[in-house]
Amino acid sequence: MKRLIKTPYLIIILMLAVASCELYDNIDTKHSSVVSPESLFTNAQVAMVNQLNNSSVNYNISRLLAQYWSEVTYTSESRYDFVSRNIPDNYWNTMYRAILMDFKESRELLSAQDIDGTLAAIRDNKLLIIDIMEVYVYHTLVDAFGNVPYSEALLGAEKSDPVYDDATTIYADLIARLTADIAGLDNAFSSFGETDILYGGDIDSWKIFASSLKLRMGMRLADVDNAAAQAAVQAAYSEGVFGAGEGAFFEYAGVTPHVNTIYNSFIVANRKDWVPSNTLIDYMVGLTDPRLPLLFTLLDTNTVDPQEPPVYVGLEYGSYAGGPYNSQSHFTAMFFEPAFEVVLMDYAEVEFLFAEAVERGYSVGGATAEAHYNNGVTASIEYWGGTSGDATAYLGQANVAYTTAGATWRETIGMQKWLALYNRGVEGWAEWRRLDYPQLNIPEDLTYADIPLRMPYPFREDKLNKDNYVAASSAIGGDLVSTSLFWDVIPTPFE
């Protein structure tokens, strides 16, 4: 399994940008006259990671929704104001126009190629990889909004008012697509090569990624369609998923603008808008979590008493006033590295999913739920720079050990999975909604029921696509942040 890209994607983009420029008379030599399917694929991959990893409150507030971060000065987004910055519109438009449309155009250009033999086999592998990427994007759209345009999406002027497909139906089709993609990929032939910035075109890696994604999506269905969930999870196990040290990791080139989102916000834009939340810090302190010094800095509080030791301090989540940046713990230095990587999925997540699968009675090998849980916790600690000894000591605590940490497996797995998904706001928010743990903090003057269970539809949809917007809103139970998604059916124990 290839863990990281070998060629910085900035170099790839520059190569692709000039590859089709030819110096003939009467041709604009400053712009490409032909766009290759490979360049469109690369651009879509970059745009997808940038959107899912984005920390800009104009585009993605998932780290706030999962209560990993708190806002220092401008606090409306942590109080669930989606309107002022048109966050749903920006999220939606980026996913459809900048990402899915490029994947579609790449697929259409490849499909139009008149080739056969080995070239056709390579082309077919490329098409299947594009399909896996499209599945990933639609999966995140459904998990954010519920019913979304799918069967009539991306048709442009041909269909500018697409219907919103049922989210359950979309999920079933996405899982079927992954099954076909896994079966169709042929490792006897190559694919995108270095223009694939996740796996360098490695077919076996793409198969394992697709199976791991199917595992995740299958488990999403467990509370609403146990049979479908079990079938998907067991199939994914048989096909092969991420092992220790493996995952879908994206490493930035490290040259502006191709830098990680925290570096871009804090260093390039010179803003200090976020610090760790008290929700996260308080739980980690209470658990004596060995990841604390790896993720966050200590705050020196000995201004009055020199003997007072430094402590970890998280900013109160969802307060009107926020708080001074220098009065809170901060992110450690690795987060400010320009090339700091993004995790789309990893071995730790897979192990937590298998722990839950065992609890539900699915056949995923002979390991116990506790063994999978321990593997997930250990993998997370080691990923952030801790040791196996740190993990062993941590798991030996009564408030962490699988058999004593929580009243139910949902609570035990939910807490540690939420911690392991730190800095992955999109997935952290999704799994908190599904498993209902841990208990989050209530923002000032709000209630627990005000914590969003979905993102509202884009605010322009009631003008641009009104009839279908109204139908979709009615079908899901109302275009409200309090409307549960189709897979989120277990009532929270905290209201």
Helix (H) / strand (E) containing 250? strand 247-250
Q: Which residue, 1, 5, 43, is CA-closest to 252?
A: 5
- Is 50 exceeded by the pLDDT of residue 1? no
- Is 50 exceeded by the pLDDT of residue 97? yes
The fraction of the chain above a pLDDT of 70, given in percent, is 92
Neighbours of 281 (CB within 10 A): 24
All domains in the chain, ordered by first residue: 9-266+335-476 (1.25.40.390)
pLDDT score, position 308: 77
Question: Does residue 252 contact residue 260 with C-beta atoms inside 8 Å?
Answer: yes
> Which residues, in sequence order, are CB contacts of 121 under 8 Å at separation 6+?
186, 188, 189
pLDDT band at 71 (very low <50, low <70, confident <90, very high): very high
- Is 80 exceeded by the pLDDT of residue 162? yes
pLDDT band at 304 (very low <50, low <70, confident <90, very high): low
pLDDT score, position 333: 97
Length in residues, the chain:
495
Q: Indicate the pairing of strand 164-165 with strand 148-149.
A: antiparallel
Q: What is the pTM of this model?
A: 0.94
Q: Which residue, 166, 201, 150, 247, is CA-closest to 42?
A: 201
The mean pLDDT value for 78-90 works out to: 97
The mean pLDDT value for 116-132 works out to: 98
Which amino acid is residue 176, in one-letter code?
Answer: A
pLDDT score, position 157: 87
Encode pLDDT of 272-296 as tens digits.
Answer: 999 999 999 999 999 999 999 999 9
- Is 90 exceeded by the pLDDT of residue 93? yes
The mean pLDDT value for 129-152 works out to: 98
pLDDT score, position 303: 55
Encode pLDDT of 168-210 as tens digits.
Answer: 999 999 999 999 999 999 999 999 999 999 999 999 999 999 9
Q: How far apart are CA 485 and CA 491, in angstroms?
A: 12
- Is 60 exceeded by the pLDDT of residue 20? no
pLDDT score, position 85: 97
pLDDT band at 6 (very low <50, low <70, confident <90, very high): very low
- Is 60 exceeded by the pLDDT of residue 66? yes
pLDDT band at 130 (very low <50, low <70, confident <90, very high): very high
Question: Does residue 285 contact residue 292 with C-beta atoms inside 8 Å?
Answer: yes
293 CA to centre of own chain: 24
Burial track 16-31 (b if 16+ CB lie within 10 A, e otherwise):
beeeeeeeeeeeeeee
The mean pLDDT value for 367-389 works out to: 98
pLDDT score, position 14: 46
pLDDT band at 16 (very low <50, low <70, confident <90, very high): very low
Q: How far apart are CA 420 and CA 43, in angstroms?
A: 29
pLDDT score, position 300: 81
The mean pLDDT value for 449-477 works out to: 97
The mean pLDDT value for 301-324 works out to: 86
> Which residues, in sequence order, are CB contacts of 269 under 8 Å at separation 6+?
none
pLDDT score, position 26: 47
Encode pLDDT of 322-344 as tens digits.
Answer: 999 999 999 999 999 999 999 99
